[in-house]
Every structure is written in C-alpha cells, then in structure tokens.
Amino acid sequence: MTTPSADPERKRSTFVTWRNRIIAVVVAAVVLWLTYLILASFLPRWWAQRIGEMVSGSFAKGIWYGLIMGLACTAVPLFLLLLAGLRWRKRGGRFIAGAAAVLALVVAVPNLLTLTIVWGNSNAAHAGERVLDVDAPGFRGAALAGAIVAAALFLLVAFLLVRRHFRRQRAERQRTEPEKARVSPETPSNPPEVGAN
C-alpha cells in the first residue's frame, strides 16, 4: 500500500525525468543544427576540391570517376538496406540490420556530398559547382548516370527476390493444404437406374 507522501514523490520523479529528456532533446537538436550549418558552409567546397584533385581537369577521368562513384555509392547502400530488411526478423537480425544500415550510410556519403553541391544553394555549394565545372568536367552527369543504373539494377534484383518469395509461399501453401476428395467426371454422382425409361 502506498503512503500519501509516496505519490507526490513519484509525480516529482516523473516530472524530473521528462524535464531532463526534453532538455536533452532540445540540446541535441541545437547541436545538430549548428553542426549542419558549419558543415554546409565547408563540406561542398572541400568535396569539390577533392574530386577536382582526382580528376585534374580530364573529361575522361571525370566521366570514369563519376560513373564508378555513382554506381558503387548507390548500389552498395541499397543492397545493404535490402539485407537489413531481409534479416530484420531473423535471429540476430536486428544487430545485423543496424550494422548494415550504418554501413549503408557510410558508403553513401560520397553521393550525399555530391548532392550537397548539386542541390545546395549556399555559397559553398555554388563554389563547389564552379570547381567541378573547371576541375572535374563530366563528373556530375556521370555520377547521376551511375546512380540511375545502380537503382535500376537494385529494382530488378528486389523484384526477383520478391517474386521468388511469393512463389515459395504459394508452393508451401499448396503442399500443406490437404487434398480434397474429387469426384471423377466419368462416373456421375447419381447414375440412372437400369430399365427406367
């Protein structure tokens, strides 16, 4: 049986817990927002300079690096996320799914950085576009083409896996279903009496 002094103490404990959670969420949101602002003003320019150093103004290298990066940094994360989805409900699946999702995010970083340049409207993004135009011609278009090919390949594989899954389920259902007694179509259920006109 609870004493009258225990109820206010429990209410105060719940209030303090929720207050601390709200403060933690607000602080985390502010830190994330400040981090985003700092990185948004730095990363697009830095990434464009790294790509420019790799390509060195060569159109062929720009296309080649763009295709490889677009293909690999799109296909690998998508297949890792597919693995995470397939393993989620199995034994140890949540750990594997979480690890696969984190790895997918890490592998997708180059494409995400390129997207900050292409879709960004900050000064750093515009500076990154100018750097890519001069030092890495063809890179952005080739990266987009590689990403489209990777997405198409992923959709094809996902379609084949889903179709195989449904076929396997249907075959198992048919195997476990008890066979119904069937009447042969040659012998009618009510044969006519002999000698009846």
Domain boundaries, the chain: 16-170
Reading the chain (197 residues) residue by residue, the pLDDT tens digits are 455 555 666 667 788 888 888 999 999 999 988 887 787 788 899 999 999 999 988 999 999 999 999 999 999 999 999 888 887 777 777 888 888 889 999 999 999 899 989 888 888 889 999 999 999 999 999 999 999 999 999 999 999 988 998 888 888 888 877 554 444 555 555 655 665 55
Query: For the chain, what percentages of helix, strand and coil (3-state, to nearest 5) are there?
Result: 80, 0, 20
Three-state DSSP string of 39-91: HHCCHHHHHHHHHHHHHCCCHHHHHHHHHHHHHHHHHHHHHHHHHHHHHCCCC
Position 181 scores a pLDDT of 44
Q: How far apart are CA 156 and CA 162, in angstroms?
A: 10
How many Cβ atoms are within 10 Å of 173's Cβ, its own excluded? Answer: 9
φ/ψ region of 138 (left if φ > 0, alpha if ψ in -120 to 50, else beta) reads: left
